[in-house]
Amino acid sequence: MTDPLHDPLPASPHDEPNGELDGELDGELLSLALEAARRAGELLRDGRPDDLAVAATKSSPIDVVTEMDIAAEKLITGFLADARPDDGFLGEEGASTAGTSGVRWIVDPLDGTVNYLYGLPTWAVSIAAERDGETVAGVVEVPMRGETYRAVRGGGAFCGDRPLRCRPAPPLDQALVSTGFNYVEQVRRHQAEVARLLIPRLRDIRRGGSAAVDLCDVAAGRLDGYYERGLHPWDLAAGDLIAREAGALTGSRPGEPPSRDLAVAASPGVFAPLQRLLDDLGAWHD
């Protein structure tokens, strides 16, 4: 009889101590994510109807989805599934399969839907590949900026060919920090209260409207930090890897990885005081 506590787990092809093969696979996943994000970005930029309307609402009347969110997710999952039929998916607009290959794609086909609906430029396509539960490649395509952010675990982060490095940390009271507000009224009320207490203790606050872009802006040194409560894996997965690979620290409450409770990303030096302050203010709960 096997003893699950003491017998070694059966070897899986993903456990191989074969850094080179894993590296090759991660590179392949990145290339696919880049192509899928490019195509979806083009569809969203060039195919946006002038009379774009809300197709449905989700967690609240202001949490909207358009036909373009749905079309972009279909394009991305179709392209990736053609290339790698055994992979799993988690997509904001409903894609959800476990797959059998150990690889799962985490997709936000349009991050910043409200900006997109209003014709504001800050929106993105976010695609991450997870291998055995860990993000190994991430792409954030920001069509209206003409920017493509990418990272592979352990390989650094880039915008196009430019290596990314987060900003040298100023003292917290000189830090420019972005945030976002949830679609659910009760959470928003609490977030407004936290922001009220935070604003006098920082240089300023920004609200860009796309979590994926906020995380890339931390990576690119355009923000000192970013925090938000209530994010989903698809908002976070690619941008979190890009921020970390650019030298930023990311987390939730002290000692915990970014989660739905709270996501914090910042230059080292801003991260710890910002995280402490957010924890003191109870930014992760009502």
Q: Which amino acid is at 144?
A: M
- Candidate ranges 98-106, 150-158, 178-186, 195-203; the one touching ligand IPD (CB under 6 A): 178-186
**75-104 mask for ligand IPD (x: CB under 6 A)?**
-----------------x------------
Q: 210 contacts which partner out of Ca ion, ligand IPD, none, CB within 5 to 8 A by kind?
A: ligand IPD
Residue, CB closest to ligand IPD: 180
Give me 125's structure tokens. 């396509």
C-beta of 141 vs 235, nearer to Ca ion: 235
User: Any binding-site annotation on 67?
Assistant: no
231 binds ligand IPD (CB under 6 A): yes
C-beta of 158 vs 181, nearer to ligand IPD: 181
141 binds ligand IPD (CB under 6 A): no
Tell me which of 125, 211, 263, 274 binds ligand IPD, using CB under 6 A. Answer: 211
Q: Which of residues 92-111 bind Ca ion (CB under 5 A)?
A: 92, 108, 110-111
Q: 180 contacts which partner out of ligand IPD, Ca ion, none, CB within 5 to 8 A by kind?
A: ligand IPD
CB of residue 210 to Ca ion, shortest distance in Å = 7
Nearest to 24 by CA among 148, 157, 131: 131
Tell me which of 108, 130, 217, 224 binds ligand IPD, using CB under 6 A. Answer: 108
267 binds ligand IPD (CB under 6 A): no
CB of residue 108 to Ca ion, shortest distance in Å = 4
| Residue ranges in contact with ligand IPD by CB under 6 A | 92, 108, 111-113, 180-182, 209-211, 228, 230-231, 235
